[in-house]
Amino acid sequence: MTAVPPRFCMLSFRAQSRFLPRLALAFLLAWAAIAGTVLLGTESYVARQRRLAVTEGLAFAEADVRAAEQYLLRTLAHVEGLHALARTRELLVARGEPGDAVTAIESHLAEVARARAGLVLQVAAIGADALLTYSTTDGWQPVDLADREHFRVHAMGEESGLHVSAPLVGRTSGRWSVQMSRAIYDTDGRFLGVSVVSLDPVALSRGLASLGSLPSARGELTTLFRDVDGAVLARTLDPETRIGQRLTNQSDGVHAALLRGDRSGSAHGRSLDGKEVLLAFRRVEGTSIVAVSAVETARILAAAGHAASTLRLAVAGLLLLLLALGVAAGLWAARRRAGITLAQLDETLTNLPFVVYRGAIGADGALSLLYVSPSVGDVTGWPRDPESWTPAAWAQRADAQARSSAGAFAARLRDAGAAEREYRMARPDGSTLLVVERARSLGRRYDGTLEIVGSLTDVSAAREVEAKAAAAAKLATLGEMAAGMAHELNQPLAAMLLAAENAQRAFRRGNGPGVEARHEIIIGEAERARDIIDHLRIFARGDEGTPIGAADPAAAVRGGLLLVRSALREAEVEVTVDLPEDLPEVRGRQVQLEQVLVNLLINARDSLMRLPPGGEGRRLGIAARQVAQGSVELCVRDNGGGVPPALLGRIFDPFFTTKPPGEGTGIGLSICHGIITSFGGTIACRNAGGGAEFTITLPAATERMPATDEPVPSIPA
């Protein structure tokens, strides 16, 4: 086994010595983050449970107040029936009708009052002179009731409907009562008096309690009061002591809501006992009565508070247990890590086909290596000693592209946490290898130094195979286009031959200007043929070995169309091109990008050939546009039927083709995919518009590609 270089060994064990405090700090930070998150989640859950408890309490109160409203509406319906009978009696008396009818009504009223004994204290009538003219109470006397509110509001025309009085002691019944009165008018609209139904507020309170709104562990109570003065008409709790009191507390929001005209709602407030309650209220239709139900906030929240305390204790216990387990695990990990020697690590990494390293990037951006795997000699040819891997030594053997991208590589590691680059490196024997370097950030030290781990992989053989495959595919494409290119060259040659013959005839006739004009034609057609041949030479030669730089997508489209124009014309394909004038250059190689486009155009032509001539026509569209984040998108679409949906996921697999046997190798699209991804871009395929649509997305160039001697020609007219 290769001996471990002392400097690497020292640096590696120095890194190990920092492991325990760094691990402890990392764990404590993680535990604090988890604890904070869990505690925040716990408090959020507790708050949610409190909100749910409040919502449940309001739901209880709403249910109670609805039940109270329905009970009161049923009671009022019975009261209205009694008013109707009392009014009929007074009208009969005023008209002097036979006494039998009056007697029958009085008997019925007395019977109803006895049947509702406890709730209905009496049914009475007051004449226009304010004297009591009738009562179901035994031994009643014609007392003067001119001072009573339930007479005055009708006599003075202040109330045209049902009037509900504040609780008072009846002069006839001698008991607490709530007077529900209505004015009596004859057919001519003359005021005859008032009919009165006296209800026992205590019995009314018991009726409310019998609905199921009895006091419970939630501390519920239901109250009926007048909205004009807040006088309590009935109450499920302690009615004997609370009837007639005024609800003067305005903080509960109920009075404010009533003043706004709200017919129902909910609010927070205080009961007559001074307790905080949740309130739900409803104004009873057609009356001045408001039903309000209250649920004690403290009792509603008691269960939630108990559950919250239990949950907090459980969470605290779990967090402390997690802390204890983390400390134990950290100690175990430290002991286990201390047991792994550097020699064991070397033994693990010795025969890997790539190099693994660990290093640190200082504030100045310089990389110092802490560890290099023993495989470095087999992969790169350079020894493992520290002097061979200093920044200066690496700079001497790496190519210019690697040296110029070192700063950007370190910046990506700092900002994104990962970076990758490809460059050439010299071996001790003078040969070169193509390596892919990948690195990831492990975090920062207390002094700001960034620790990283990375790898170096020799991809020379893989890239050579890829280049040969791309060259073979390119030559196959050139062979497929040979007939079309011959036609392209034949056109200028034929034009030159014709011009030469005409020039010869003009020369014999002594027509000097005619000869000169033919010479101009010959020169123009010769330049056209030269451009085509030059472009073929550039395309065949390729640029696979050059560094990735900047490529002109518009020029790639024009060059690709130049190569396949004859093939498309022969296939009767209608081509549309949409290229913006301000299209930026992209990251890539010019000829390889053109090769991708030629492959896509030939594939589109093959798909379109399956369509019958005529009909809607064979259409091929090429478009380019600049998209967000500084990228350029190239789109090639046709209407040739598209790719079967089940095969879309395999379209870029090597040796996979949708063409009939003998018509495709299955490597063209795979090579296209490899070329585009090597540029840092993407290529995708989907079915759209009755055909296939290939979309290439490439990042905009950050540096210009080295200039070539031969410009890419424009498409001839």
User: For 544-559, what is each residue's pLDDT tens digit?
Assistant: 567 788 999 999 898 8
Q: Is the pLDDT of residue 704 over 50?
A: no
- What's the whole-number mean pLDDT along residues 374-392? 80
Task: Decide: 147 and 168 in contact? Cβ < 8 Å.
Answer: no
Task: Provide CATH code, domain 342-457.
Answer: 3.30.450.20
Could you write out the three-class secondary structure of 490-513?
Answer: HHHHHHHHHHHHHHHHHHHCCCHH
* Higher per-residue confidence, 113 vs 67: 67
Question: Which amino acid is present at 562?
Answer: L
Q: Quickly tell me which residue has 């019944």 as its tokens.
A: 173
Q: What is the model's pLDDT at position 621?
A: 92
C-alpha closest to that of 221 among 267, 268, 265, 279: 279
Give the integer Cα–Cα distance in Å for 355 and 381.
11
Q: How confident is the model at residue 226 (pLDDT cuts 50, 70, 90)?
A: confident
Where does 391-511 have alpha helices with state H?
391-397, 400-416, 460-480, 482-508
Q: What are 255-267's pLDDT values in tens digits? A: 777 777 778 888 7
Q: Which two tokens stand for residue 666?
A: 């299955």
> To the nearest whole percent, how much of the chain has pLDDT over 90?
10
How does DSSP assign 140-192, residue by residue? ----B-TT-HHHHHHHTTS-SS-EEPPPEE-TTT-SEEEEEEEEEE-TT--EE
H or E, element range at 698 = strand 691-699
Report the C-alpha dihedral over residues 527, 533, 539, 545, rounded to 10 degrees: -90
Cβ atoms within 10 Å, residue 110: 16
Lowest mean pLDDT of 29-38, 287-296, 604-613, 656-665, name the range.
656-665
Q: What is the model's pLDDT at position 251?
A: 45
Select, from the ranges 191-200, 286-295, 319-328, the one with the highest average predicted confidence (pLDDT). 191-200
Q: Is the pLDDT of residue 13 over 60?
A: no
- What's the whole-number mean pLDDT along residues 519-528? 67
Q: Which two tokens stand for residue 652?
A: 């870029």
Q: What is the model's pLDDT at position 474?
A: 60
Q: Is the pLDDT of residue 3 over 50?
A: no
C-alpha closest to that of 228 among 247, 210, 251, 202: 247
Task: Decide: 237 and 231 in contact? Cβ < 8 Å.
Answer: no
CATH class assigned to 21-323: alpha beta
Q: Which two tokens stand for residue 585?
A: 């250059």
C-alpha closest to that of 61 among 286, 271, 227: 271
C-alpha closest to that of 577 among 595, 604, 554: 554
Q: Which two tokens stand for residue 588?
A: 């890539």
Task: Decide: 679 and 586 in contact? Cβ < 8 Å.
Answer: yes
Q: Which two tokens stand for residue 168?
A: 């008072």
CATH architecture of structural domain 467-699: 2-Layer Sandwich (3.30)
Q: Quickly tell me which residue has 């209905």 as its tokens.
A: 120
Q: What is the model's pLDDT at position 395?
A: 77
Give the integer Cα–Cα distance in Å for 403 and 15.
27
* Higher per-residue confidence, 632 vs 669: 632
Q: Is the pLDDT of residue 164 over 60?
A: yes
Averaged confidence pLDDT in the chain: 78
Task: Decide: 341 and 46 in contact? Cβ < 8 Å.
Answer: no
Give the integer Cα–Cα distance in Å for 683 and 171.
98
Q: What are 461-502's pLDDT values in tens digits? A: 776 766 666 666 665 565 555 555 555 565 666 666 666 666
Q: How confident is the model at residue 714 (pLDDT cuts 50, 70, 90)?
A: very low
Query: In this structure, what are the phi and psi dihedrals at residue 275, rounded to the nearest 5 degrees?
Result: -90, 145
Q: What is the model's pLDDT at position 620?
A: 92
Q: What is the model's pLDDT at position 52?
A: 84
Q: What are 682-698's pLDDT values in tens digits? A: 999 999 888 899 999 99
> Do 342-457 and 21-323 fall under one CATH topology?
yes
Query: 3-state class of 388 per DSSP?
Result: helix
Could you write out the three-class secondary structure of 271-334?
Answer: CCCCCEEEEEEEECCCCCEEEEEEEEHHHHHHHHHHHHHHHHHHHHHHHHHHHHHHHHHHHHHH
Q: Quickly tell me which residue has 């009895």 as its tokens.
A: 214
* Higher per-residue confidence, 100 vs 183: 183
- What's the whole-number mean pLDDT along residues 512-532? 67
C-alpha closest to that of 309 among 50, 33, 35: 50
Give the integer Cα–Cα distance in Å for 422 and 405.
10
Task: Decide: 655 and 636 in contact? Cβ < 8 Å.
Answer: no
Query: In this structure, what are the phi and psi dihedrals at residue 30, rounded to the nearest 5 degrees?
Result: -65, -40
Q: Is the pLDDT of residue 352 over 90?
A: no
Q: Is the pLDDT of residue 536 over 70?
A: no
Sheet containing 220-226: give its strands across. 232-235, 220-226, 289-296, 276-283, 264-270
C-alpha closest to that of 269 among 285, 259, 257, 261: 257
Lowest mean pLDDT of 374-378, 523-527, 553-557, name the range.
523-527
- What's the whole-number mean pLDDT along residues 509-532? 68
Task: Decide: 219 and 295 in contact? Cβ < 8 Å.
Answer: yes
Where do the domains of the chain lie? 21-323, 342-457, 467-699
